[in-house]
Amino acid sequence: MNVISFALLAILTHTTLLVAPGDDSVRPEWVELSKHSNLPLHCETIQSELWATRDEARSDAFNQAVARAQDFAADVAPRIKNTWQVPAWLVHDHLLREPIYVEEVDWTYGPMYRAHLLLELSPEKRGVLLANWHQFVVRRRMGQIGGGVGFLLVCLATMLAYLRLDDATRGYYSRWLFTGAAAVVASSAAALYTWIV
């Protein structure tokens, strides 16, 4: 049942795909240590709210971890906050120090669940985050430059086609050809604008 619900959640959200259930039978030591602020260097714990199921609690904790990672990276590069979403796989692969622990809490109307995770926010991990941000920015800029060059190429090809067709038709359809060429250029410009903006 647990596996089925995890698979369904994995289909619905990409974050849950990465939040695989851990061994919840043994309470980890770092959960207790967090209460006394006695964690390892550059480590933080994150707790979810109380949820009715384990997977919901796990996802909530993981989403909080992603947001925290984004804030952590934005400390040195504020532009990150508005331009980039830290990928979940990056948090899972690089920042999550221990498997997520989900504890069962007895509540007035039954058992509830709270997830705990240990996040490493060291300068090295920030470097990893920034490197990935750079990669994202570079690829986006490459796409923009490629779009610009593509637009230039479309203009060139349109002009070439216009000249050749105008010669081939001995100037009979110059206006139509010019209108068509202008339409091609305008539509490609609009497409470029839409894509970039």
Binding-site ranges for another protein (CB under 8 A): 76-77, 130, 134, 137-139, 141-142, 145-146, 149, 153, 156-157, 159-160, 163-164, 167, 170-172, 174
**How is residue 161 written in tokens?**
């086609």
d(CA 163, CA 75): 55
Q: How far is the CB of 175 from another protein (least distance, A)?
A: 9
CB of 66 to another protein, least distance (A): 20
Q: Which residues contact 17 (CB under 8 A, 6 or more apart)?
A: 10, 88
- Give the number of other Cβ atoms within 10 Å of residue 94's Cβ: 15
φ/ψ of residue 53, rounded to 5: -125, 160
Q: How far is CA 30 from the centre of its chain?
A: 28
Q: Which is nearer to another protein, 50 or 128 (CB)?
A: 128
* Nearest of 135, 153, 136 to residue 192 by alpha carbon: 153
Output the smallest distance, CB 79 to another protein, in A.
9
Angle, helices 54-74 vs 123-168, to 10°: value is 80
Cβ nearer to another protein, comparing 111 with 146? 146
Token readout for 163 is 């000249």
Closest approach of another protein to the CB of residue 140, in Å: 11
Residue number, 174 or 179, with CB nearest to another protein:
174
Cβ 134 to another protein, closest distance in Å? 5
Nearer to another protein, 77 or 185 (CB): 77
Q: Closer CB to another protein, residue 27 or residue 79? A: 79
- Smallest distance from another protein to CB 187, Å: 19
C-beta of residue 69 within 8 angstroms of C-beta of residue 86: yes
Contact 61, 47 (CB under 8 A): yes
Cβ-based nearer residue to another protein, 50 or 155: 155
